[in-house]
Amino acid sequence: MKSDRATSGYLSGQLLVAMPAMTDPRFERTVIYICVHNEDGAMGLVVNRLMDSLTFGELLDQLDITAKNQADDMRIHFGGPVESGRGFVLHSSDYAKEGTITMENGVGLTATIDILRDIAEGDGPRESMLALGYAGWGPGQLDNEIQQNVWLNVPADDDLVFDTDLETKWRRSLAKLGIDVTLLSGQAGHA
């Protein structure tokens, strides 16, 4: 029997990979983990782009949290252009507290300050990614963009979501589908 996701057409728990046709510079060559995708729209976090303007240590200082165990070297990702001051932690399933949403593939999402405290104290999840902001789509908008050859979807795995090699994540995501990046074109063809 097929899962609800396979029959629904929704992409929650998968990765979106920007195609060369992506013209929005905020999303060019991005890989986005889709947290929620349903009839009301979609929400995801960019997993391969860092924030330049803020370090984790500075964020902890702003929140008056003291870091232990070198936790202040965590990198902050550009999660997307929506609510850029709001933080989200995408993480492994070994961490679950009040406010944690666990997705069907076992990845957790927590947007409370408590997870930042736990990470700073060395009690956070085994794997995590902190993002400020998110990518959001209204009803039908993401489906329309996929039909326009702007995105491909790829099954998510921990290496693509959590590893720190951001420079190759876009290429590796496409390679997971068997796609050679050098053969991709930004132009849609017509027979």
Angle CA 40–44–45, to nearest 5: 160
Fill in the DSSP letter of residue 183.
Answer: G
Residue 44: other Cβ atoms inside 10 A: 27
- Amino acid making up residue 27: F
Residue-wise pLDDT for 23-72, tens only, equals 899 999 999 999 999 999 999 999 999 998 888 888 888 888 887 765 55
CATH of 4-183, one of 3.40.1740.10, 3.30.200.20, 1.10.287.1770, 3.40.50.300: 3.40.1740.10
The length of the chain, given as a count of residues? 191
Q: What is the pLDDT of residue 88?
A: 96
Helix and strand numbers (H, E) in the chain are: 6, 9
Its pTM stands at 0.87
Q: How confident is the model at residue 188 (pLDDT cuts 50, 70, 90)?
A: very low
Residue-wise pLDDT for 72-88, tens only, equals 578 899 999 999 889 99
Ordered by start, the domain boundaries in the chain are 4-183
SS3 of residue 184 by DSSP? coil
Q: What is the pLDDT of residue 109?
A: 96
Q: What is the pLDDT of residue 53?
A: 82
Q: How confident is the model at residue 20 (pLDDT cuts 50, 70, 90)?
A: confident
CA distance 128 to 95: 10
CA distance 186 to 191: 16
Phi, then psi, of 89 in degrees rounded to 5: -115, 115
Tokens of 170: 């876009």
- Amino acid making up residue 156: A
Answer whether 99's CB lies under 8 Å from 137's CB. Answer: no
Residue 14 has pLDDT above 50, yes or no: yes
Q: Name the region of 122 (left: φ>0; alpha: ψ -120 to 50; beta: rest).
A: left
